[in-house]
Amino acid sequence: MKVREVIEYIYEIAPFRDEFGEIPRDDAIVFGKENQTIKGIGVTWSPTVKVLKKAEKEKLDLIITHEFLFWPHMESVWFESREDIMKKLPNLLRVEILRRNNMVVYNTHKNWDAAGGWGMCDAFPELLGFKEEINRGRFIRVHRIEPIRVVHLAERIKERMKIPVIRIAGDLQRKVSKIATAVGGLGQIYGIAEEPYNLGAEVVVFGEAVDYAIRCCTEYGMVAIETSHVLSENPGVRNLAKNSGENLKK
C-alpha cells in the first residue's frame, strides 16, 4: 500500500468540510514521500522519540500523528531559539530514527478534530458520558445532563478520565446541567469562553487551558474545568486507529 492511499482514505472519513463550511487545510507529509510503499501503520497523538522507538520496534513505517513532528523556531524576546530547527536535540533524535527505518510521518489535525461522530470533538464528550447534545459550534459541543453540583461533576470527570487531579474555577456547590466541552488545546485561546457562553453553557470542560481562558470563563459567569490536553484527545486518536485498521485491511 502507498502512503497516498492511506491519506485518501483519511480524506474520505475526515474531509476538510463540515456543516459549518470549509475547514482550513493543515495536513502534510512532514517526513518521507507520498508514493512510498508502507507495510505497517502507527497512529499517535504526538510523535515523540519514545513513540518513534516503539514504532521502530514494531516495524511500522507510516506514522499518522495529530501533533507536530519537529520543534519549530520561535521568534521571542524571552529566550533564544535556534535558527536551524534541525540542530535542536529532540529533532535530531527523531530524524535519526526516521531515517534509520525509512519512515513516513503524516500530520493531520483540524479535519481529524471535526470528523463527525468519532473525531476529537465528539469523542471527548462520549468519554465523559454526555449523551444529550443540545448545541454545537465547529469544535465546541454542549450537552445537557441531570442537574449536578460542580464538585460532583468534577469527581465524575476524574473517574471517567482516570486522572487524580483536575483544575476547577468557580463555585463548587453550584448546580449545573449544561456542559460544554473544549477538547485538546482550545483552552489555549484566550477568549475561547465566548463561544460556549453564546451556546448556552454553564460549565466548560477543557483539555488544556491557559489562565486567561479560565478567567474569561468565570467573567462570563461559567465554571471552568481543566483536565488534560492529551487525555481529552486520545479517544479520537483511538477511533482513527481502529477505523483505519479495520477498513484499510479490506
Q: Is residue 167 domain-shared with residue 148, that is, in the same domain?
A: yes
Find cell 441531570 and name the residue.
146
Q: Report yes or no on 146 lying in a domain.
A: yes
Q: Please report whether residue 244 resides in a domain.
A: no
Phi, psi angles (nearest 5°) of residue 205: -100, 110
List the one residue out of 201, 243, 205 whose CA is nearest residue 115: 243
Domain boundary among 113, 138, 158: 113
H helix or E strand, kind and range, residue 73: none
Alpha-carbon gap, residue 110 to 25, rounded angstroms = 8
By residue range, what is the domain housing residue 7? 3-113
Return the closest-CA partner of residue 30 out of 61, 68, 4: 68
Q: What predicted TM-score, i.e. pTM, was given to this entire model?
A: 0.94
State the total domains in the chain: 2
* 240 occurs within a structural domain: no
How far apart (Å, rounded) are the C-alpha atoms in residues 89 and 68? 15
Q: Are residues 132 and 217 in the same domain?
A: yes
CA distance linking residue 92 with residue 74, whole number of Å: 17
d(CA 197, CA 160): 24
Q: Does residue 221 belong to any structural domain of this protein?
A: yes
Q: Which of 63, 98, 113 is where one domain is finished? A: 113
Best CA proximity match to 212, nearest among 230, 196, 189, 241: 189
Q: What residues are paired with 204 via a beta bridge? A: 180, 224
Q: What's the CATH number where 193 sits?
A: 3.40.1390.30
Q: Is residue 59 part of a domain?
A: yes
Virtual torsion, Cα 131, 223, 159, 65, nearest 10 deg = 80
Quick one: which H or E segment has residue 213?
A: helix 211-219
Q: pLDDT 10s digit of each residue in the chain, 250 long?
A: 999 999 999 999 999 999 999 999 999 999 999 999 999 999 999 999 999 999 999 999 999 999 999 999 888 899 888 889 999 999 999 999 999 999 999 999 999 999 999 999 999 999 999 999 999 999 999 999 999 999 999 999 999 999 999 999 999 999 999 999 999 999 999 999 999 999 999 999 999 999 999 999 999 999 999 999 999 999 999 999 988 766 666 6
